Structure 1
Amino acid sequence: MGIVLVIVSIVAAYLLGSIPSSVWYGIGYFGIDVRKQGSGNAGATNTFRVLGKRAGTIVMLIDVLKGWTATCLASMLFYMSEIGETELLVYKILFGIVAIIGHIFPVFVNFKGGKGIATLLGMVLAIHPELALVCITIFILTLIASQYVSLSSILATLAFPVLSWLGVFGHPEPLLIVFGFTMFILVVLTHKKNIIRLMNGNENRVNVFARSKSSHRH
């Protein structure tokens, strides 16, 4: 196996994850740094809050694409015969996690990024599309019912390892289950402040049916 190609892929996955889409898009298109408004978080949720639905959707899709592309680097190595089929899932998880780390700690903006939910979604879409779609459905239904993005993210992330463990889409894959619960713990840790606000009843709500803000473009 070409260790050099694997190392290059790991670096590429991190750099993909590090792309600060909310910061670059906000500053480049609107002249607004989302880190200085709203929650101060450099993620899609705060972009929705500060710049409106269109900007938030674009940033979210870019973040999803980052995770999907990084994870698919493993498929590229597989088709190049650098890794075997038995190693494919391991490398998909490795590259996807590296991309999420890049999103949370991006080299391009002083290692202060978002919480990695959209990038995690892209990773899961590349690993198990059917299960990812179920998690997306759970996220949307929870968001409509509660208007809490944080709660929706936590429940959707938890659904992945639980559904994997229950074997909803075939024989349970131990590695996916361990990965899923590890990601759930990571999401809980990155949402500590949100969880405290949820418990105190003062978490920010998002009205998914509200009209989008008018353009801030300069």
Structure 2
Amino acid sequence: MERIICVLIGYLFGLLQTGYFIGRLNNVDIRKMGSGNAGTTNALRTLGKRAGAVTLLGDCFKCVAAVLLVHFIFGNGAADLLPVLSMYAGAGVILGHNFPFYLGFKGGKGIAATAGLIISTTNIWIVLICLVAFVGIVAISRYVSVGSLLVVSIFFAAVVILGQNGYYHTTGRYLGEIYGVAFFVVIIAFFQHRENIKRLIKGNENKIGAKKK
């Protein structure tokens, strides 16, 4: 039951579509512009740097907020289960962000929300590694999609490494659940980027700073 509650909490936070609301403030539906996505990259490309930055921060920290709420609700009675519940809440945020019911289940791709999950469930070194990896690969390739998929892959590897080294202070099936939910997050990210992957294979993926093809 706790897991379901945490997913629902996360989903509700995920419904706060920062890019969509910023677009509405500018009298546009961001989902009808650029790539048709409600996330950070499309906000940056279609509404400018300030909108992109606000969308990134909003989508990232709604995940942090969801995890903090889960800690507040369950922190005293389920300490050993808390890392698992935090992961479920983060997954819920990503689901709410990607598939908001009130927007016809058409939201973003969940990378900024995943960044919030990385902040909430790993440590500062993993956050810095992910940041450097993302900035580095995007600077070199100019493909945001490649940087995004690299970051979620690093996240999963980091969760496993941290878990095996006692970071989450839990063992057995709880640890397996943490790995399972983290892997689910990776699967969602790759699924949401399936068209980007096809374009990368064909060599016509959109580069940052270039007009959408």
- Report the Cα offset of residue 96 of structure 1: 1.0
- Report the Cα offset of residue 8 of structure 1: 5.9
- 1:38 touches 1:49 (CA, 8 Å); kept in 2? yes
- 1:39 aligns to what? 35
- 1:161 touches 1:178 (CA, 8 Å); kept in 2? no
- 1:26 aligns to what? 23
Q: 1:8 to 1:184 in 2, by over 3 A?
A: closer
- 1:203 aligns to what? 205
2:81 match: secondary structure: helix
Aligned residues: 202
- 2:53 aligns to what? 57
Cα-to-partner distance string for 1:31-56 (whole Å, 9 max, x where unaligned): 22111111111111111110111110
Q: Does 1:114 align with 2:108?
A: yes
1:1-218 correspondence to structure 2 within 5 Å:
10-28=7-25, 30-79=26-75, 81=76, 83-130=77-124, 131-166=126-161, 170-171=165-166, 174-175=175-176, 176-207=178-209
> Which AA in structure 2 matches 1:196?
K
- Report the Cα offset of residue 143 of structure 1: 0.8
1:205 match: secondary structure: coil
Report the TM-score when normalising by structure 2. Answer: 0.85
2:107 match: secondary structure: coil
Separation of aligned partners in 2, 1:77 and 1:182: 24
2:80 match: secondary structure: helix
Separation of aligned partners in 2, 1:137 and 1:12: 30
- 1:165 touches 1:172 (CA, 8 Å); kept in 2? no
- Report the Cα offset of residue 140 of structure 1: 1.0
Over the matched positions of the two proteins, sequence identity in percent amounts to 33
- 2:88 touches 2:181 (CA, 8 Å); kept in 1? no
Consecutive unaligned residues of structure 2, counting only runs of 5 or more, are 169-174
- 1:214 aligns to what? none
- 1:148 touches 1:205 (CA, 8 Å); kept in 2? yes
Q: Root-mean-square deviation (CA), in Å?
A: 2.4
Separation of aligned partners in 1, 2:12 and 2:129: 29
> Which AA in structure 1 matches 2:19?
S
Separation of aligned partners in 2, 1:207 and 1:108: 31
Separation of aligned partners in 1, 2:182 and 2:146: 17
Consecutive unaligned residues of structure 1, counting only runs of 5 or more, are 209-218
